[in-house]
Chains A and B, each alone.
Chain A
Amino acid sequence: MTSSAFSLTRNPLGQLVLTKVGAGGMAHEGVTPVRAFALTAPDTSISLMSAEGKELQWIDSLDNLPENERHLIEEELTQREFMPIISRILSVSSFATPSTWQVDTDHGATALILKSEDDIRRLKSPGGLLIADGNGLHFMIRDRRDLDPHSQRILKRFL
């Protein structure tokens, strides 16, 4: 696939710059990588979008990219696609919503506000849950059956 040849760099402003080979060498500043299937296939199917929201480059899989490009994209993605994974539910303020949960995540301990039970979405993967917090952040539970019994007991009241 020669048409997909491109290079990525980071400019001093911290933005990604995409230069497509063979398209007059035009550089696009402020490129953002976006996961097309953020939940089901996070590491494949990535699109590079321009600052204006136009797709510039489609990437089937990160594995096929040169080291530099892959590193930059992964770096940018971890900065953008923030989805803490809940490892423990410590306590909840009430079983009626809105309820404030104290949780442990892979990004440290924090609190989330569950506005209504509808904000808990069951994922296709068995036991997987996506919890939308009142402020728009999404928390994930990989498999609720792997949580400790205390967390499971709390969670059950909301499912």
Chain B
Amino acid sequence: MTATDTLPEGWQAALPPLNAGESLLAWLELDLDAKLSFRSSLVALTNQRILTATESWPLTATAHLHHVDHAGVGMLELDDGERMLARWRYTLGRNPAALHFEREFNRQRDSRASGLPPPAPVAAACPICQLPIPADEEECPNCARELHTPPSTWVLLRLWRFAQPYKGMLLAGFLLTLAATAATLVPPYLTMPLMDEVLIPYQNGKPIDTDKVAWLLGGLLGSAVFAWALGWARTYILALVSERIGADLRTTTYEHLLKLSLEYFGGKRTGDLLARIGSETDRINVFLSLHLLDFATDVLMIVMTAIILFSINPWLALVTLIPLPIIAWLIHMVRDRLRTGFEQIDRVWAEVTSVLADTIPGIRVVKAFAQEAREAHRFRDANKHNLEVNDRLNRVWSLFTPTVGLLTEIGVLVVWVFGIWLIAHDSITVGVLTAFLAYISRFYARLDAMSRIVSVTQKAAAGAKRIFDILDHVSSVPDPVKPVALPPLKGGIQIENVHFRYGNRAILRGIDLDIQPGEMIGLVGHSGSGKSTLVNLICRFYDVSEGGIRVEGVDLRSVAVADYRKHIGLVLQEPFLFFGTIAENIAYGKPDATRAEIVAAARAAHAHEFILRQPYGYDSLVGERGQSLSGGERQRISIARALLIDPKILILDEATSAVDTETEFEIQSALNNLIRGRTTIAIAHRLSTLRRADRLVVMDRGRIVEIGNHDELMAREDHYYRLYMAQSKQLDELPALGMSA
């Protein structure tokens, strides 16, 4: 990014020529002008100035670039500390480029102010997923793809990856389909000799040849039975395969999902993810096993029928098949119109149900404010809308089936007309015409079903896209290609100049902290000061944007994630218990723990006694259905869980803030057992819980502002003192209100 020729396409001529020794550092394509009209222009940053097509501003030490965004419009403001110099606007699609511009500007300006050469550029990270963005691209390819690409039918081809293991079965299924379809085509063929060699001669006065009749009828029955058996085998094998493909798809997606970082889960709705893994895979499954199979069979049938027809009489075959594409196209047109109608009905239906979903859970409010009549009216309106849309669609829909019937009849009529003409000219026999009629009515009947394939394919493609969106997402906390073996941990952690950005917000700005083995650190500060973020970085739920975190001299990013997390015990504010027994929950991090170990951990966590009070002791069920445990009891189970894995590093994130003071006391003594001999990092709002900490680290707006023990910090009468005084005052005034904000 040093020469003008790296400017985006079409912008090379937009800037005035650069001075000697001047190099281009960053640029921003604006898509809004000063009057907020959609017009593109360019603003560029060089090592000497900011310039646009018409103006330029030198980079002075007092220059300041200010970035704000509101309601989808981003703005960069340039001022010199006293006056506003310029203002540029853009839609937020350009935000990553704008942030990059601002960063580059600050680096240049700072180096000008300090006289030092600018520090090395920082790789831009995606504001959504935090992955580094390749230098030649403006936005994160990962997120952009998800946002911009509409589902294409070609996505379905990617399913081949999942079909590949079942190649053999798929081939067998295909051959069976071929054979089964061929078998269904035998009966009409046999009507030919039946007509020409038996029935018509009989009408002309010849006796019926019983042997021949028996042979032909036997053939009819035989082929029917054969087609039945083959059809069964085919459907069974292919259903087996598609079910397996669906299952593989589901498990692969889920396994991949589990590996993604917390960041990904933060940005998605749970319901959406559930739907993707559950119903979307099922929809693809049904598509593969039913629609695609039927469609393939139908196509095969039409091709084979065409071959047979041509081999019997090419001219009649031609006349028979010519209307086919036209009719197929007509059916498709009508269906297309119907489809948009059905989609509309779906949405209107959602409207009706949303009125219900709104009102029924809120029925107490509705009744309390005596608004039953209004809600009834709202429902009636939604229903009326539903009726209107349905009426409109039914006009077309009611025409559809009769129209298909009519078109089929017309097709058959054409065959009759031409057939009779050919018979009259003695070109074909009555038997041939009968066979043709039998064949043709078969596949006209399938045309309607075939026309459906377009819309089901689109739906399946949309589902496949949503699944591949997950599969294509790369974890933003990637495992290193060659992980470094983690030396035995003593528990020391070195945090060096750590910065962290979430979206476009800077959350941590240069944290330095050296944590000694076995030390207890208390993190203190207002909410939003970055305490939880720091802890998340230490757990490596996220990766730092700048700087580094090291354990035993090894950077966290160079060790395997799972390897490192084995040494971390985490106790959260809201302890999560999985559905299962208490013993299973305690042993979650170490599934092969012995009963003695589990009991020992529970004793240390002061959980043993209340567990024994449960109906089945350690085998009592908790989690989703076993809601009988109180908050404090759940917390002690989660402490036992952390104790059992005997971690070197222990993290307590608001471990006691969700419980009352009495329970807190019990948990506190459980925690004291846990803390002993381990490096502990504790976050607490209630400062009294941190008195035992060796060092308290006070954070404010992403920076460390004070470090010291309780007495030192109190003596200093600054940040910590103010926090502490504010709390003890509140405690005096509002003893009943929760302090656990």
A-side interface residues toward B, CB under 8 Å? 12-14, 78-84, 93-100, 105, 107-110, 113, 115, 117, 133-138, 156-157, 159
Using known A-B contacts A97-B150, A98-B149, A135-B91, determine if residue A12 contacts B83 with beta carbons closer than 8 Å: yes
Q: Are A108 and B37 in contact (CB under 8 A)?
A: yes
Contact with A along B25-41 (1 / 0, CB 8 A): 00000011000111100
In the assembly, what is the distance between CA of A96 and CA of B461, in Å? 10
**A–B pairs, 18, beta carbons within 8 Å:** A12-B83, A13-B79, A14-B77, A80-B70, A80-B73, A83-B71, A93-B150, A95-B340, A96-B150, A107-B32, A107-B38, A109-B38, A110-B31, A113-B147, A134-B148, A135-B93, A136-B71, A137-B91
Main secondary structure of the interface of B (DSSP, over half): mixed
Q: Are A107 and B458 in contact (CB under 8 A)?
A: no
Q: Are A12 and B72 in contact (CB under 8 A)?
A: no
Sorted nearest first, the 10 A-B pairs with minimum C-beta distance are A137-B72, A14-B84, A94-B150, A108-B38, A136-B72, A110-B38, A12-B83, A135-B93, A135-B92, A108-B37
Chain B residues contacting A135 (CB-CB under 8 Å) are: 72, 91-93, 95
In the assembly, what is the distance between CA of A13 and CA of B83, in Å? 4
B-side interface residues toward A, CB under 8 Å? 31-32, 36-39, 70-73, 77, 79, 82-84, 87, 91-93, 95, 147-151, 340, 343-344, 347, 458, 462
What 4 additional pairs, Cβ within 8 angstroms, besides A135-B95, A136-B71, A137-B92? A13-B79, A80-B70, A100-B150, A136-B72
In the assembly, what is the distance between CA of A115 and CA of B36, in Å? 24
Q: Are B71 and A12 in contact (CB under 8 A)?
A: no
The smallest beta-carbon distance between B458 and chain A, in angstroms, is 7
In the assembly, what is the distance between CA of A83 and CA of B462, in Å? 31
Q: Are A98 and B72 in contact (CB under 8 A)?
A: no
Q: Are B71 and A82 in contact (CB under 8 A)?
A: yes
Using known A-B contacts A135-B92, A138-B72, A159-B344, determine if residue A108 contacts B148 with beta carbons closer than 8 Å: no
Using known A-B contacts A14-B77, A14-B84, A110-B31, determine if residue A137 contacts B71 with beta carbons closer than 8 Å: yes
Q: Are A157 and B71 in contact (CB under 8 A)?
A: no
Q: Are A96 and B147 in contact (CB under 8 A)?
A: no
The smallest beta-carbon distance between B220 and chain A, in angstroms, is 47
Residue of A nearest to B461 (CB): A96
Chain A residues contacting B344 (CB-CB under 8 Å) are: 156, 159
- How many pairs of A and B residues are in contact by the CB < 8 Å rule? 80
In the assembly, what is the distance between CA of A144 and CA of B702, in Å? 48
Using known A-B contacts A14-B77, A107-B37, determine if residue A96 contacts B458 with beta carbons closer than 8 Å: yes
Residue of B nearest to A114 (CB): B150
The smallest beta-carbon distance between B473 and chain A, in angstroms, is 16
The smallest beta-carbon distance between A120 and chain B, in angstroms, is 10
Q: Are A98 and B71 in contact (CB under 8 A)?
A: no
In the assembly, what is the distance between CA of A95 and CA of B344, in Å? 12
In the assembly, what is the distance between CA of A113 and CA of B84, in Å? 33
Chain A residues contacting B72 (CB-CB under 8 Å) are: 82, 133, 135-138
Q: Are B36 and A82 in contact (CB under 8 A)?
A: yes
In the assembly, what is the distance between CA of A83 and CA of B91, in Å? 11
Using known A-B contacts A80-B71, A135-B72, determine if residue A96 contacts B151 with beta carbons closer than 8 Å: yes
Residue of A nearest to B458 (CB): A96
Q: Are A98 and B148 in contact (CB under 8 A)?
A: yes
Q: Are B71 and A81 in contact (CB under 8 A)?
A: yes
Chain B residues contacting A97 (CB-CB under 8 Å) are: 150
In the assembly, what is the distance between CA of A125 and CA of B38, in Å? 27
The smallest beta-carbon distance between A152 and chain B, in angstroms, is 13
Chain B residues contacting A94 (CB-CB under 8 Å) are: 150-151
Residue of A nearest to B73 (CB): A82
Within 8 Å by CB of A105, from B38, B82, B347, B462, lies B38
Chain B residues contacting A157 (CB-CB under 8 Å) are: 340, 343
Chain B residues contacting A159 (CB-CB under 8 Å) are: 344, 347
Residue of A nearest to B95 (CB): A135
The smallest beta-carbon distance between B280 and chain A, in angstroms, is 14
Chain B residues contacting A14 (CB-CB under 8 Å) are: 77, 79, 84, 87
In the assembly, what is the distance between CA of A34 and CA of B400, in Å? 54
